[in-house]
Structures are given as structure tokens and as C-alpha cells.
Amino acid sequence: MPRADLMKFRGKITECMGGGQYKILVDKEGPTDTKEVYIRATISGKMRINQYRVIPNDNVEVHASPYDLTHGIITRNLKG
């Protein structure tokens, strides 16, 4: 799937799971919902090659397929 077709989300890493997986709490947009939305994601190839480190409580940018919003790829580590 081309990168232009992926949906972009911002969120916070809540948990480091085995196998290079991370659990991310996605920031909500639009009307307020009480349901928390989590995405399970891995680090993108370029971040892995350049040895970026992500830890819990880091703000990140995640790209996910519109067909399956529960899995994604961490593409940026956001400062602040």
C-alpha cells in the first residue's frame, strides 16, 4: 500500500511489548468519547536503521492502514 494511502495518528507509547511491538494510546479528535483507542505498532525501517530509541511516555506519529486500524508503524518520535 502506498504511503499516501495510510492514515496518520499522533499518540503516546504506553507499553513496550515483546518482539519490538509497542502499545500506543491514540489522541482523540472530534467529539469526546470515553473509549480509549490503542494501536499496536512497530518501528519503521528507517528509524530502526538509524537506531532511534522510543520508550514509554514518548509522543510518536503512527501510520496505519485504513483497513486495519489496530496495527501500525511508528514513523516519527515527536518532541515535547
In CATH terms, the superfamily for domain 3-78 is Nucleic acid-binding proteins (2.40.50.140)
List of residues 6+ apart from 42 with CB closer than 8 A: 20, 21, 22, 73, 74
Q: What is the mean pLDDT of the chain?
A: 89
What is the residue extent of each domain of the chain? 3-78
Q: Which of 31-35, 52-56, 62-66, 76-80 has the lowest mean pLDDT?
A: 31-35
Provide the pLDDT confidence category of residue 74 given band limits of 50, 70 and 90. very high
Task: Provide the whole-model pTM.
Answer: 0.85
Q: Is the pLDDT of residue 31 over 70?
A: no
How confident is the model at residue 12, as a pLDDT? 96
**36: Cβ–Cβ under 8 A, 6 or more apart, which residues?**
25
With beta carbons less than 8 A apart as the criterion, state whether 7 and 69 touch.
yes
Across the range 25-44, mean pLDDT stands at 82
